[in-house]
């Protein structure tokens, strides 16, 4: 019968709005306002999953985000399958497909349950003990089998189609949690006019007030007070009240991260609505009103479906109008479960209560509940449950004189257990506040704050309703910088409990399966085993047994685990330590964290003014830093090798055109510009004439090469500096660092001009003839405009800085024009070069041509540990200069020592064999392992100009090995190479001066 366990009245669900979803294919009816958990319970479904390790049947333990067991896969449509959702958190709505996890072939009959029978094998530290050897077994045998047998949900197979939003916000007071303490804090802060954000993880603000319809606050019903408080907050312009918003991370300087669930609960969300929104809030002050979590009792088979937390039973009855069972036994060590029992009784449920405490240890609640007609059994322990997929009985036994008496069974279909309460100090701990142990509360409470933050209500160990409201109001006013005070009158709260630990039993302790951590399947026995094996710190016990390390971060289990370990070691609980809580408080979707940073928005893409032309002309592209650069321009039918060979030949024989716009450019200007350049580069700059260029080499202070590039002097006080494509920001930062902090007396300005200039490299014997007709105001003759010089003039009417430079070894120009003219000038050059067969070429051809000339690329021939001398550029160093960055380090003993790796060329004995870049080089391929590595290949290509493969390498004492045979690793073994000069083409360099 549909909703057989729905109470005839009560609850906050909207009975006029029925909804329907499926659970493992079965139709489940519920009402708007239900969670998946409450709707399942309304239909009598308790068995919802199989446990992680032992595949034990599991049900719904809690009503909130602390739920460890009821993890379900939620299917909201194609591509929208989301595993490991807590049934108690997912709002029920039409059309959801809910699927149970970790079972095969079905939830009711699960083959993996054999693990439960093998449980003696799966003890604490099982992974560490079993899988140490041999290593290869891990990949091939253990890991796949364990993966198949244990685990949680299945990851979705397709890309997430949903949109996730991202918002930054600032406020004066952030209130976390909108239960009674949080609402009081928010009202107090709001009254001061300060900007307030209130975030609450539930669908409705109110916290515990939502399931205490009988409570009174200041003479009003709790619901009336709650509604008025929310009405007031909603009406205020200085308050943002966010339901369905979980604060999951508390970071430095009150930077707080929260996720708002925007669309999942709606079946009518308009297209484009983000599924979730990540909020990053910077709050001047934070009030943590995060409430508390109930502890389970630790007794044999306490994980049977139908065994729930006592307060959660109360929540399902009062808030959702659902009776989790027809006959419910409450098992408790404290007072709060008596209220749950009374509410269950009032809802018409058959109720009994068993208290671990002796009669004399109980408060007035025992008499109070008996007066309501409920059997109360004090001084009893719980020794087990009956039933398999649903609890059928609770096995209890009297405690007397330290012994356990005769067992008896109380028949039931639901158990509500309560082992006391634990303040939710997770966010306080994340804020790096120091926890303090309160023995009276048997709990850690917030101690010394590390940030501008304060806790209120149950999160600070205050459970009485009036006191919660008082503490919340005080926290709110203090956070807002006010000293206003207010006291609240509220109905009595039944509080107090006796720490229970593992309950006494008459059973063989080796056979008792009393669960502490329900999600990771850790029992009291596992904890005791860890202690026997010598683990004493809770951090070690935690890692060894995995207790508290599941996705619920031990919300229900941590204090029980700590208590059992402390008891076992015979030490006071605080000396065992507590665990440090880390973000996220509850699991966060990757989508929320990633937000819009996907696909094209994952990282910025930089393109040049000529990019579209290259794309239109069939270029393939490669990523260089954030730039997308034309790699080569294949013609129909050409592969990369053929295209690159054609492009190389065109440059060597006619003319090629290359987009060099990505080159970093920095304008260095000021009266002290030359002096600044002198101190920063190894080269000499003072005497460099205006209109001349120089290849500049820049070191870090440690003497290693940082960057290189051509520098042009445009005026006495103005240099046009170029850098490598990938290092431009780093070079500018390096320059700024020295200018600002070491030489602030220098009058120099540094400006990044990378994106101001489009750079068109025209290279090859026909380069001059190609641009001659386009350039105005510059004499292009060799005499007037020699290699390594710069002129300002016009090209196609656009202002230009024309460089006579070459990174190919052939006659070449680099046309710098303002970016807006880049494409037009490029097209004009291509048209003007047509008679000479002008050929656009990409970065691959550029690499081959420069390698033929032995020109290094910083980052390819260098790796941050390479000096100028290592790459044969010691001649660049102006040794007469008293100082430059890195000069002193070049005299460090290690940088002068013999055996440094030096740049050489390598010629393979097989001219068609192209070595692998990065391949290792040895002298003797037959040397036993470990072999002596002499160096590695840094660049390797097939050179069309040379008709053979070429390579450069860094080899220990390489220059002295010229002419010698060495051996380079290949995929098949080794190949012989001859060491030679790194310049393979036009060694006397005559072509650049053509």
C-alpha 348/C-alpha 326 separation (Å) is 9
In contact, 297 and 419? CB cutoff 8 Å: yes
Residue 14 CA neighbour count, 13 Å, CB half: 8
* Pattern 872-891, another protein, x by CB under 8 A: ----------xx---xxx-x
CB of 496 to another protein, least distance (A): 36
Strand partners, 322: 6
- Choose, by CB under 8 A, the member of 122, 131, 251, 368 that binds another protein: 251
CB of 182 to another protein, least distance (A): 24
C-alpha 307/C-alpha 869 separation (Å) is 76
For 475-521, give the DSSP string: HHHHHTT--------B------B----BPP-SS-GGG--BEEETTTT
CB of 897 to another protein, least distance (A): 12
CB of 887 to another protein, least distance (A): 7
Cβ proximity to another protein, 250 vs 497, nearer residue: 250
The answer to whether 140 contacts another protein (rule: CB under 8 A) is: no
Cβ proximity to another protein, 450 vs 625, nearer residue: 450
C-alpha 83/C-alpha 60 separation (Å) is 16
* Pattern 439-458, another protein, x by CB under 8 A: -----------x--------
| Residue (of 7, 1, 152) closest to 70 by Cα position | 152
C-alpha 511/C-alpha 969 separation (Å) is 60
Backbone angles phi and psi of 59, in degrees to 5: -120, -155
Q: What is the 3-state secondary structure (H, E, C) of 437-468?
A: EECCCCEEEECCCCCCEEECHHHHCCCCHHHH
The contacts found for 969-973 with CB under 8 angstroms, 24 or more apart, are 969/916, 969/919, 969/920, 969/921, 969/922, 970/913, 970/915, 970/916, 970/919, 971/916, 973/925
CB of 732 to another protein, least distance (A): 9
Q: Which stretch binds another protein (CB under 8 A): 51-59, 247-255, 902-910, 929-937?
A: 247-255
Cβ proximity to another protein, 211 vs 679, nearer residue: 679
- Enter the tokens of residue 619: 């270029």
Cβ proximity to another protein, 732 vs 968, nearer residue: 732
Q: Which stretch binds another protein (CB under 8 A): 252-260, 907-915, 967-975, 977-985?
A: 252-260
* Cis bond upstream, residue 134 (ω within 30): yes
Torsion sign (Cα): 159, 164, 166, 172: negative
Angle between helices 465-479 and 180-191 (to 10 degrees): 30
C-alpha 285/C-alpha 172 separation (Å) is 6
Backbone angles phi and psi of 448, in degrees to 5: -80, 130
The answer to whether 582 contacts another protein (rule: CB under 8 A) is: no
C-alpha 281/C-alpha 175 separation (Å) is 11
Cβ proximity to another protein, 281 vs 524, nearer residue: 281
Q: Which stretch binds another protein (CB under 8 A): 122-130, 250-258, 313-321, 862-870?
A: 250-258
- Backbone dihedral region for residue 10 (phi beyond 0: left; psi -120 to 50: alpha; all else: beta): left
CB of 892 to another protein, least distance (A): 6
Cβ proximity to another protein, 94 vs 736, nearer residue: 736
**Binding positions for another protein, 701-720, rule CB under 8 A:** 701-702
- Choose, by CB under 8 A, the member of 134, 636, 637, 893 that binds another protein: 893
CB of 542 to another protein, least distance (A): 24
In contact, 829 and 962? CB cutoff 8 Å: no
Cβ proximity to another protein, 381 vs 867, nearer residue: 867
Total residue length of the chain: 994
CB of 737 to another protein, least distance (A): 7
| Residue (of 133, 155, 153, 151) closest to 142 by Cα position | 133
CB of 4 to another protein, least distance (A): 51
- Enter the tokens of residue 718: 């103005």
Cβ proximity to another protein, 282 vs 948, nearer residue: 282
Cβ proximity to another protein, 129 vs 892, nearer residue: 892
E strand spans, 633-756: 656-659, 664-669, 693-699, 705-715, 718-723, 749-752
Strand partners, 240: 197
CB of 912 to another protein, least distance (A): 46
CB of 702 to another protein, least distance (A): 6
- Enter the tokens of residue 924: 């003797």
Cβ proximity to another protein, 385 vs 723, nearer residue: 723
Cβ proximity to another protein, 432 vs 964, nearer residue: 432
CB of 678 to another protein, least distance (A): 15
| Residue (of 293, 299, 291) closest to 329 by Cα position | 299
Cβ proximity to another protein, 741 vs 990, nearer residue: 741
Cβ proximity to another protein, 639 vs 883, nearer residue: 883
CB of 729 to another protein, least distance (A): 9
Q: What angle do CA 508, 509, 514 make, to 5 degrees?
A: 120
Tell me what percent of the chain is helix, strand and coil, each rounded to the nearest 5: 25, 30, 45
- Choose, by CB under 8 A, the member of 17, 26, 129, 255 that binds another protein: 255
* Pattern 646-685, another protein, x by CB under 8 A: ----------------------------------------
Cβ proximity to another protein, 168 vs 687, nearer residue: 168
Cβ proximity to another protein, 716 vs 742, nearer residue: 742
Helix (H) or strand (E) run with residue 139 in it: none
For 516-568, give the DSSP string: EETTTTEEHHHHHHHHHTT--SHHHHHHHH-TT-STTTTTTTHHHHHHHHHHH
The answer to whether 253 contacts another protein (rule: CB under 8 A) is: yes
CB of 171 to another protein, least distance (A): 14
> What residue spans of 261-354 are helical by DSSP H?
310-320, 336-346
CB of 902 to another protein, least distance (A): 23
What SS3 state is found at 375? strand
**Binding positions for another protein, 395-434, rule CB under 8 A:** 432
Cβ proximity to another protein, 741 vs 926, nearer residue: 741
CB of 250 to another protein, least distance (A): 11
CB of 742 to another protein, least distance (A): 5
* Pattern 728-767, another protein, x by CB under 8 A: -----x--xx--xxx-x-----------------------
Cβ proximity to another protein, 680 vs 950, nearer residue: 680
- Choose, by CB under 8 A, the member of 892, 910, 924, 970 that binds another protein: 892
* Binding-residue total with another protein (CB under 8 A): 26
Cβ proximity to another protein, 254 vs 819, nearer residue: 254
CB of 719 to another protein, least distance (A): 19
Largest CA distance in the chain: 114
**Binding positions for another protein, 274-303, rule CB under 8 A:** 280, 282
Binding positions for another protein, rule: CB under 8 A: 251-255, 280, 282, 432, 450, 701-702, 733, 736-737, 740-742, 744, 882-883, 887-889, 891-893
């Amino acid at each position: 019968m549909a909703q057989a366990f729905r109470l005839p009245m009560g609850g906050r669900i909207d009975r006029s709005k029925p909804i329907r979803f499926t659970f493992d294919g079965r139709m489940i009816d519920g009402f708007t306002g239900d969670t998946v958990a409450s709707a399942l319970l309304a239909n009598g479904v308790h068995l919802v999953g199989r446990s992680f390790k032992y595949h034990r049947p599991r049900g719904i333990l809690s009503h909130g985000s602390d739920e460890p067991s009821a993890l379900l896969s939620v299917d909201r449509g194609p591509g929208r399958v989301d595993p490991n959702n807590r049934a108690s958190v997912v709002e029920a709505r039409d059309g959801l497909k809910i699927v149970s996890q970790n079972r095969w072939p079905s939830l009711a009959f699960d083959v993996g349950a054999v693990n439960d029978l093998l449980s003696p094998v799966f003890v604490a530290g099982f992974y560490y003990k079993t899988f140490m050897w041999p290593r290869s077994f891990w990949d091939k045998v253990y890991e796949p089998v364990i993966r198949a047998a244990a685990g949680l949900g299945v990851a979705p197979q397709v890309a997430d189609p949903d949109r996730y939003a991202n918002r930054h916000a600032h406020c004066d007071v952030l209130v976390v949690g909108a239960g009674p303490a949080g609402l009081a804090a928010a009202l107090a802060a709001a009254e001061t006019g300060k900007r307030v954000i209130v975030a609450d993880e539930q669908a409705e603000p109110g916290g515990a007030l939502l399931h205490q319809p009988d409570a009174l606050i200041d003479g009003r019903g709790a619901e009336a007070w709650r509604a008025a408080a929310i009405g007031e907050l909603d009406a205020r312009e200085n308050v943002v009240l966010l339901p369905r918003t979980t604060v999951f991370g508390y970071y430095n300087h009150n930077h707080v991260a929260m996720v708002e669930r925007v669309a999942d609960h709606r079946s009518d969300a308009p297209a484009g609505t983000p599924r979730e929104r990540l909020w990053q809030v910077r709050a001047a002050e934070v009030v943590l009103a995060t409430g508390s979590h109930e502890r389970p009792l630790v007794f044999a088979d306490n994980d049977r479906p139908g065994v729930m937390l006592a307060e959660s039973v109360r929540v399902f009855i009062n808030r959702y109008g659902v009776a989790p069972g027809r006959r419910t036994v409450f098992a408790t060590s404290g007072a709060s479960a008596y209220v749950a029992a009374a509410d269950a009784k009032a809802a018409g449920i058959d109720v009994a209560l068993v208290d671990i405490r002796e009669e004399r240890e109980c408060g007035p609640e025992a008499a109070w509940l008996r007066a309501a007609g409920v059997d109360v059994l004090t001084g009893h322990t719980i020794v087990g449950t009956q039933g398999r997929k649903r609890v059928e009985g609770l096995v209890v036994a009297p405690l007397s004189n330290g012994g356990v008496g005769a067992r008896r069974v109380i028949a039931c279909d639901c158990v509500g257990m309560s082992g006391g309460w634990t303040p939710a100090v997770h966010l306080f701990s994340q804020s790096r506040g120091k926890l303090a142990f309160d023995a009276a509360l048997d709990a850690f409470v917030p101690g010394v704050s590390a940030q501008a933050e304060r806790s209120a209500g149950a999160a600070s160990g205050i459970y009485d309703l009036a006191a919660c409201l008082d503490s919340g109001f005080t926290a709110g006013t203090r956070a807002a910088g006010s000293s206003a005070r207010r006291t609240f009158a509220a109905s009595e709260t039944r509080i107090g409990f006796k720490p229970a630990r593992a309950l006494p039993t008459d059973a063989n302790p080796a056979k008792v399966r009393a669960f502490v951590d329900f999600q990771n399947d850790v029992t009291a026995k596992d904890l005791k085993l860890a202690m026997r094996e010598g683990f004493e710190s809770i951090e070690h016990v935690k890692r060894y047994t995995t207790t508290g390390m599941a996705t619920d971060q031990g919300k229900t289990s941590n204090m029980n685990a700590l208590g059992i370990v402390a008891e076992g070691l015979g030490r006071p609980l605080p000396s065992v330590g507590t665990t440090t809580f880390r973000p996220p408080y509850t699991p966060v979707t990757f989508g929320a964290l990633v937000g819009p940073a996907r696909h094209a928005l994952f990282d910025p893409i930089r393109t040049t003014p000529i990019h579209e032309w290259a794309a239109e002309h069939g270029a393939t592209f490669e990523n260089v830093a954030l730039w997308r650069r034309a790699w080569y321009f294949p013609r129909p039918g050409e592969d990369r090798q053929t295209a690159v060979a054609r492009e190389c030949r065109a440059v060597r024989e006619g003319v090629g055109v290359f987009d060099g716009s990505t080159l970093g450019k920095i304008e260095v200007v000021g009266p002290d510009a030359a002096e600044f350049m002198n101190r920063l580069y190894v080269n000499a700059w003072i005497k460099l004439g205006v209109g001349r260029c120089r290849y500049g080499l820049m070191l870090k202070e440690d003497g290693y090469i940082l960057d290189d590039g051509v520098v042009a002097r445009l005026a006495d006080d103005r240099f046009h500096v170029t850098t490598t494509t990938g290092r431009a920001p780093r070079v500018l930062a390096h320059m700024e660092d020295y200018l600002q902090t070491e030489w602030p007396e220098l009058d120099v300005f540094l400006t990044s001009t990378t994106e101001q200039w489009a750079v068109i490299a025209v290279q090859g014997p026909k380069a001059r003839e190609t641009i001659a007709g386009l350039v105005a105001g510059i004499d292009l003759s060799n005499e007037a405009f020699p290699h390594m010089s710069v002129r300002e003039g016009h090209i196609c009417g656009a202002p230009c800085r024309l460089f006579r430079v070459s990174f190919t070894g052939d006659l070449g120009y680099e046309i710098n024009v303002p970016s807006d003219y880049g494409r037009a000038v490029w097209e004009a050059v291509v048209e003007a070069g047509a008679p000479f067969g002008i050929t656009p070429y990409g970065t691959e051809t550029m690499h081959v041509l420069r390698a033929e000339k032995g020109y290094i690329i910083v980052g390819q021939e260098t790796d941050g540990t390479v000096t100028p001398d290592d790459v044969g550029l010691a001649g660049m160093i102006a040794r007469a200069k008293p100082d430059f960055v890195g000069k002193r380090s070049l005299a460090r003993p290690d940088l002068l020592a013999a055996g440094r790796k030096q740049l050489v060329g390598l010629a393979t004995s097989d001219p068609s064999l192209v070595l692998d870049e990065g391949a290792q080089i040895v002298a003797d391929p037959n040397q036993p392992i470990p072999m002596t590595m002499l160096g590695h290949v840094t660049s390797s290509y097939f050179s069309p100009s040379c008709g053979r493969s070429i390579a450069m390498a860094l080899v220990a004492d390489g220059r002295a090995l010229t002419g010698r045979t060495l051996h380079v690793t290949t995929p098949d073994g080794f190949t012989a190479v001859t060491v030679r000069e790194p310049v393979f083409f036009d060694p006397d360099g005559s072509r650049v001066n053509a």
